[in-house]
Amino acid sequence: MESKISERAIDDVRPLKVIYIGAGVSGILACIQFPKHVPGLELVVYEKNEEVGGTWFENRYPGCACDIPAHAYQLSFESSTDWSSFYAEAPEILRYWQRVADKYNVRRFMKFRHQCTEARWDEETAKWHVTLLDLASGQVVRDVGDVLMTGVGALNRWEWPEIPGLHDFQGKLMHSADWDAAFDPEGKSVAVIGAGSSGIQIVPALLPSVASMDHYVRGRTWISPSLASEFVKARNNGVDGNFSYTDEERAAWKHDRESYISYRKSIETEFQGLCMAFYREFPQQVAMRELFAEEMRRRLQGRPDLVAEMIPDFAPLCKRLTPGPGYLESLVSPKVNVVRSKITAVNATGIITDDGVHRPVDAIVCATGFRSFQGSFPVYGRGGRSMQEHLGSRPRTYLSICTDGFPNFFQTLGPNSGLGAGNLVMAIESATLYVARVLRKLATENVKTIEPRARHVDSFTRFCDEYHARTVYTDKCASWYKAGRTAAEKERGAVIGVWPGSGVHLIKAFQEVRWEDFEMETVDGNDFGWFGNGLSGADRTSDPEGLSWYLNDTNFLHENQS
């Protein structure tokens, strides 16, 4: 008969090593939360850049800012009152995350200038073997860990648009995600290709400096009114335009935390409360569409031709909501030429469109986006199967965080993790704490491997598709929310970028781990091994504190008084 006794104390902790890829917001949070929840954890974070910050370190284009209110783009437990504006710019956001990194000393876990090139699961040892390139030395580095997690995000791999002759251009050619800080736009003619969130920020930022601008806009995008709080609007006498906070306002919040918390909660409430506008023909969606159309017409006064061409025929929220302060106002400037014709080629001096027009420029800015949810390096799971092959054109995950066939593998901001409206940082916090609970089980309960059951992966995927069929995300619009490479594919592809529910729904879904949804293997083959050998660690060492720890809770003493 097989023994049910595992020779370990019930509270013994086995050595556990986590290899984490990426030192952006998710990586910083992992370094704060994982060691706190998992005793004795060995954690190493590899980052290709030379500093923390992820997208806020990499993106430096003019006008780069968060289109989520600054007070809703910070940690729940590190709430800053020092934001200079309702919408913070990238350098200020980066400084916030660097301050957090300093306070919690997270860099001690991090190795910078190391780019992951491959990760492979080894069945025999139940370990992840990770290959990296040391960008400083050019040397190949290999590491082995029990758990692999990535925090590189969905919008990490930027790419050039597929335009014939693009790299024949002899002027300055840049991508928004690879900006050359030495570029001086003063007095130059500039083309900006793309009207996604980056293009919408770049256009008004460059406009004061350039001599002229050709803005190439193929699709349509709802430009929403800002989500500025009632506080800001009241301060501006109802005018939704000046988003800067005064020194007096920031000082008042710093000295009156209750007032500040109330202000932050009002922003959260407004932002999270947009969720009912997801649904087709709901009153909130109808009202939003009317409001946005009216606002766009107002801001495009004097250019009725642009009104007809820019206001979408699909519902708001089908694409990512973009406030775009100053963008529509820029389009009516005499310096801006909005080009709706399709680009067919680029030559040494400029851009050619399908109407045969050649428009010479000094510089071309490609604000054309990223390859979403494609991964930044190959990952191979059980049987050598690649993650890209496993996920296919419609990624299958469990709660966006893991998938079958890839034991001890997790990711933040994976497929179906984004929020059409809601607090993304709270989503990252929730996912991080969820994985921390899993890591604790691996370290303390005799569990060697864990992966979601295939049927629950399929159930979550089917739920996503059925849920999104009810929403405006499946309207006919080309969006990075959808699977596909071409614009036509992204009009009809499955919705893979957005969580199937509200922001609050996501937070609640991640509060507890449903262990019954997972397959688990034990360290020693004993399913009852978590119970140990009948002893605790304190029994073996006769540690006085360990033998009476249950009296440390004052409520215990109070509740048991006779």
- pLDDT tens across 392-416, in order? 878 999 999 999 999 999 999 899 9
Paired sense of beta strands 336-339 and 343-346, if any = unpaired
Specify the pLDDT at position 562. Answer: 43
Q: How many CB atoms lie within 10 A of CB 415?
A: 25
- CATH T-level assignment (fold) for domain 17-156+372-449+502-521: FAD/NAD(P)-binding domain (3.50.50)
Q: Tell me how far apart the terminal alpha carbons of the chain are, to the nearest angstrom.
A: 48
- Spell out the SS3 assignment of 393-433: CCCCCECCCECCCCCCEEECCCCCCECCCCCHHHHHHHHHH
What is the distance between the alpha carbons of residues 135 and 48, in angstroms, rounded to a whole number?
A: 8
Paired sense of beta strands 350-353 and 358-360, if any = antiparallel
What is the distance between the alpha carbons of residues 503 and 419, in angstroms, rounded to a whole number?
A: 6
For residues 77 and 32, is the Cβ–Cβ distance under 8 A? Answer: no
Q: CA dist 196 to 202, 380, 499, Å?
A: 10, 33, 20
Query: Which residue, 147, 18, 29, 21, is CA-closest to 424?
Result: 29
For residues 83 and 72, is the Cβ–Cβ distance under 8 A? Answer: no
User: What DSSP line would sit under 108-168, residue for residue?
Assistant: GGEEESEEEEEEEEETTTTEEEEEEEETTT--EEEEEESEEEE---SS-EE-----TTGGG
- Give Cα 370 to chain centroid, integer Å: 13
Q: Dig out the tokens for 62 from the structure.
A: 């003019």
Q: CA dist 64 to 67, 87, 204, 428, Å?
A: 9, 10, 11, 21
User: What DSSP line would sit under 335-396, residue for residue?
Assistant: TEEEE-SPEEEE-SSEEEETTS-EEE-SEEEE---EETTS-SS-EE-GGG-BHHHHHTTS--
The ranges of the chain with pLDDT < 70 are 1-2, 154-156, 227-242, 370-375, 553-562
For residues 16 and 439, is the Cβ–Cβ distance under 8 A? Answer: yes
Q: Dig out the tokens for 423 from the structure.
A: 């607090």
Burial of 376 per CB tally in 10 Å (0-12, 13-18, 19+): middle
Total count of residues recorded for the chain: 562
Specify the pLDDT at position 499. Answer: 96
Specify the pLDDT at position 92. Answer: 95
What is the distance between the alpha carbons of residues 218 and 233, in angstroms, rounded to a whole number?
A: 33
- pLDDT tens across 198-257, in order? 999 999 999 999 999 999 998 889 998 876 555 656 655 444 556 788 899 899 999 999
Query: Which residue, 504, 514, 512, is CA-closest to 459?
Result: 514
pTM of the model: 0.92
